Amino acid sequence: MNCTMIVSTPDPEVIWNAFRLANLMLNHDDDVNIFLNGPAVNYNQGDSEQYPINEQAKIFTLSEGSLAA
């Protein structure tokens, strides 16, 4: 399945969950694209111990997910 997620909120929990879902889909051999729009482009500013966004983003890109901003 091909899937494109559009994230346009700076809310760290939403961004973290988008990457987690995308990684799950990649593990099931789906093609996933994430498009970051507006304030979501600065996703790494929301990285924290509670929401490790950078870790999920790294897994996503190393798993051949497509990230666009």
**Average pLDDT for 2-21:** 97
pTM above 0.75, yes or no: yes
| Cα distances (Å, whole numbers) of residue 68 to 27, 38, 48, 49 | 20, 12, 22, 25
**Average pLDDT for 16-39:** 97
> What are 21-32's pLDDT values in tens digits?
999 999 999 999
Residue 69 has pLDDT above 90, yes or no: no
Q: Where are the domains of the chain?
A: 15-68
